[in-house]
Amino acid sequence: MSEPMSLYVYAITKDSHPLDLDGVKGVGEAPAELRTVRSGSLCAVVSDAPQDLSVARRDLEAHNEVQGRLWAGGSILPLGFGYVAENEDAVRAVLESRAEEFSQRLDELTGRAEFNVKGVQEEDALLRTILEESEQARALSARTREGGSYDDRLALGQLIAQEVQSRQDAEAEEVLAALRPLALSEKVSPPSKQYFVNASFLVEGERAEEFTRAGQELAERLGEGIEVRVRGPLPPYSFA
């Protein structure tokens, strides 16, 4: 007798969720059939876990499509890509042991969505602004163009790095300050070379359009070479 296959788990919902998944398939090269594992007032949406699961576009899109369809029908707790349970009994055990916690969180997320906000700044535009506004930077830049000394080049590099950091910190705070009043909660990731701000916000459904408009208006206010990317409404990945 063969052992039961492990399960890929997409999300947890209330048992009352409509679970409209017609036409939606799960992950895997041969897309898996979706089914539910139930315990009390909760259920988990699962499929057999493929042996060839990979962080490939095919499987990521399938994972997101299942969660998106579920979220369109009601509150869910979306699991991260790649979550695999040993079997149905293991899934039921988790649903049973954390039933109160899961039910409370599902209630808290009802009617709410996640918005992800990323700030991107064009490097050349930022450098132009620094040189336009900093007399010291202009003077050092002029000296280095004429040959200059090692100390001049070092001082220019340090000054520009400090200016970039200072300006991006201020811009990030302006983005966060503008959007915080429209959100219930936030999770801010550390800035990176690519994004000067990267944050997720939990927003009431009735404020979704207002939040989107506020994000779009930010780039215009922040000036040349700055793009504020607002993605949402999304299932509450960061708040589940």
Q: What amino acid occupies position 85?
A: A
Instruction: Report DSSP letters for 40-51, one per residue.
Output: TTEEEEEEEPPT
Return the pLDDT at 152. 65
**Strands of the chain, DSSP E:** 7-14, 35-39, 42-48, 76-78, 84-85, 112-121, 185-189, 197-204, 226-234
Residue 181 token pair:
């009043």
Q: Reduce the DSSP state of residue 186 to 3 states and report it.
A: strand
Whole-angstrom Cα distance, residue 175 to residue 184? Answer: 16
Return the pLDDT at 86. 94
Return the pLDDT at 2. 42
Whole-angstrom Cα distance, residue 185 to residue 177? Answer: 13
Return the pLDDT at 150. 73
In the chain, residues under CATH classification 3.30.70 are 113-239
Return the pLDDT at 1. 37
Fold of the domain built from segment(s) 113-239: Alpha-Beta Plaits (3.30.70)
Return the pLDDT at 69. 94
Q: What amino acid occupies position 138?
A: R
Residue 167 token pair:
């300006």
Whole-angstrom Cα distance, residue 108 to residue 240? Answer: 10
Half-sphere exposure of 149 (CA within 13 A, CB side): 3
Q: Which sign, positive or negative, has the C-alpha torsion 159, 161, 165, 168?
A: positive
Q: Encode the chain (240 residues) as per-residue pLDDT tens digits.
A: 344 579 999 999 999 999 999 999 999 888 889 999 999 999 999 999 988 777 778 899 999 999 999 999 999 999 999 999 999 999 999 999 999 999 999 999 999 999 999 999 887 776 777 667 777 766 767 777 777 677 767 876 777 778 777 888 888 999 999 999 999 999 999 988 899 999 999 999 999 999 999 998 997 888 778 889 999 999 999 998
Return the pLDDT at 30. 84
